[in-house]
Amino acid sequence: MESQQLQSVAVIGLGSMGMGAAKSCIRAGLDTYGIDLSTDALKELEQAGAKGVSHNCADFAQVLDAVLLLVVNARQAKAVLFDNQLATQLRPGTAVMVSATISAEDAKSIEASLKEHQLIMLDAPVSGGAAKANLGEMTIMASGSEQAFTKLKPVLDATAGKVYNIGTEIGMGATVKIIHQLLAGVHIAAGAEAMALAARANIPLDLMYDVVTNAAGNSWMFENRMKHVVDGDYTPTSMVDIFVKDLNLVSDTAKDLKFPLPLASTALNMFTSASNAGFGQEDDSAVIKIFDGIELPKKEQ
């Protein structure tokens, strides 16, 4: 089977999700190469058993069966593939799994350019956070040809707890992820608003957090992100500016479909305000800092 032929994969972008995905590929027995600008990230993956690491994508292009792109946005994905000419150096038939959160139009544009080099694309955004990525249990919402799914099966098996086949049309995976990000962003914003109100009412935030996480108002995002608020720790696993980007993608998708999104629009304004106030590079739970007149917990030294 073609899926059995895939042995080597490069993971480009060793952030919170990419590092976990790369380590999962190593554990699955794949020859795994890591590409990132961070020397520390490269050292970490090398120590985990990577076949090779580099700042330059082209260093391993000729030995790769697949590429997994876990960069931040479409601009970075296009820069890696086309500005840096990786697409011209990969062997024909190499499968490129694009897992950045991007628009459907960008996904289609990338596929068209990859086709010019006889490369196969899977439009495959991911979710689950760093913890799921480290366990090889990401949720992947993918669209693409049967050939792409078959060729990338070893990578999907290594990195995902659940793979959703959205269909053959490139862009549908991206759209499902964008709709998911609507919920994720609104849940974080709503959680921040609730915790801000609790702070204003002089309710201890650790108590409020405990109540909500054991009651019907809980959500995965509340439980995960509002713990950061309780701990006073805004070290980013996903930044405020990521949700400015993602909720703008939500807004653009809604505009194309002439569809109103009042809650998503409010959440976007909240994250934009947080970024404008200087919190853009902090954890996305820092959206709570837009509320005045409240005292938030400080990180213990």
Please state, in angstroms and as integers, the Cα–Cα distance from residue 276 to each residue in 124, 139, 152, 270, following that order: 31, 31, 40, 10
Return the structure tokens found at 258. 């002439």
CA pair distance 232, 205, nearest whole angstrom: 10
Q: Which residue has the tokens 């697949």?
A: 66
Selected catalytic residue, list 23, 78, 177, 289? 177
What phi-psi label fits residue 180: left (phi over 0), alpha (psi between -120 and 50 degrees) or beta? alpha
Nearest alpha-carbon partner for 164 in 197, 140, 198: 140
Run of H or E residues at 163: strand 160-167
CA pair distance 112, 106, nearest whole angstrom: 10
Q: What single-letter amino acid sits at 51? A: K
Catalytic residue list contains 177: yes
Residue pair 121/144 in contact by the 8 Å Cβ criterion: yes
User: CB pairs under 8 A, 24+ apart, for 153-157?
Assistant: 153/3, 153/6, 154/3, 154/4, 154/6, 154/7, 154/9, 154/28, 154/30, 155/6, 155/9, 155/25, 155/30, 155/66, 155/68, 155/97, 156/124, 157/28
Residue pair 189/251 in contact by the 8 Å Cβ criterion: no
Q: Which residues are catalytic?
A: 177
